[in-house]
Structure 1
Amino acid sequence: MLLQEQAAVVTGASRGIGRAIALTLARHGASVVINGTREELLESLAGEIRQLGGNCIVCAGDVSNEKVASHVIEAAVGHFGKIDILVNNAGINNRSSTLEMGIDDWQKVMDVNLNSALYFCRAALPFMIERKYGKIVNVTSTTAKTPHRNAAPSYGASKAGVNYLTQHLALEMAKHNIYVNAICPGPIDTDMSQQWTEEYRREAIARIPLGKLGTPQNVADAVLFLASSMSDFITGESINLNGGTYMN
């Protein structure tokens, strides 16, 4: 129980990676506030967490709205008296090329992927500063570090922005005993990847040195590490989790 008596917020928790993160934090003792846009999926997840004996609150809403960020963080503090852990996981992708991509599409990806991380951090940090403790984990992407033909430029640029925000906040907040790190997943076997053709799946796996796709649980385990005391001398890092597809 690495997170006993801690309170966590997880965005983008409706399914896939976010769902696995919320369940993993709860299994290790954290009380969890889960956010996403699919309220029925969030309620199902909350029921599963409660069956495990955990505490869970559902706060549905669009993370690109700054007021939603304030509401979610205030719900955590109101119900649990504090916020120890913030996981900015919510994100969307766009697969159009630079010339095909509409400016509205660019802005939407930026709003959800980058701006939301800023909104949630700004909402949570005053409470963390007051208690002189906090762990922030931003889920970005390998595409933040190297381009990918299957992602629009908005996706990589937004995730690269989150990586920089991670470093900047880590530098600013170190004096308050607040740790800020990021995880950069590569090919993960989620609902999205299950829509691939068999040919594309084989090609994707062939490009991975470890010869397999990652799982949502792989990402959740890395989040657990960064959210727990095991990572108490790590801040400002963007950790690759991609089976070796990008190394630095």
Structure 2
Amino acid sequence: MGIQKPAWLEALYTNKFFAACSIHETAKKNEKNICCLDCCTSICPHCVPSHRYHRLVQVRRYVYHDVVRLDDLEKLIDCSNVQPYTINSAKVVFIKKRPQNRQFKGSGNYCTSCDRSLQDPFIHCSLGCKVDFVLKHYKDLSPFLRTCNSLQLSPDFFIPQDMGDDGMINETSHSTIVDYDEPMSSSSGSSGSENISMACTEFVRKKRSGLCVCGRSANKGSEDHMATNMSRRKRHSS
């Protein structure tokens, strides 16, 4: 049956973030905005010293949903074809699905799971949508998982040393952001993903002329091919 969802991925899905930490309930800035991938639990900045040798990823809030920096996620799993957004000059990816009823009929890209309208060439609106798509059609996540033995918080994330009320935390650790959707332009991708974006853009151009061809690996090409057929069926059924 292959590899299903790894424990760290389930932890990102199921843990509650931005709640007050029960261990440091009297401390300031005690919201649980970090996921320890080794312990599979959410922690606050005051908990970090106890997890200093573990893989840690910061969770942020964007339009009331949990997001993680694309650079962090791509060390763990292939995020190609997932639409990123830009907040504070950083690219982020939504963790969970964001279902949306399609209000307008017509051509365009729609999420393989949520019917959310997307920019070209993206076909998944969140990491959860891509994972469900892969498991449904391949029953195996292993071709998309990446080996990551070390993952630390960004240098600007200040770890509090003083547990008392006078302890101050750098504002960068305060990560609740409420803003409008601002999809990242596909032309502003990082150097590591530019080739993928270009290949997918070429694929979208060709699929509109009836050619289901993608200059990527067989597994990813099959993913795009099935997503294209699903998108066509959705448009016909509309």
Tell me the TM-score normalised to structure 1 length: 0.28
More helix by share: 1
Structure of greater Rg: 2
Q: TM-score, normalised by structure 2?
A: 0.28
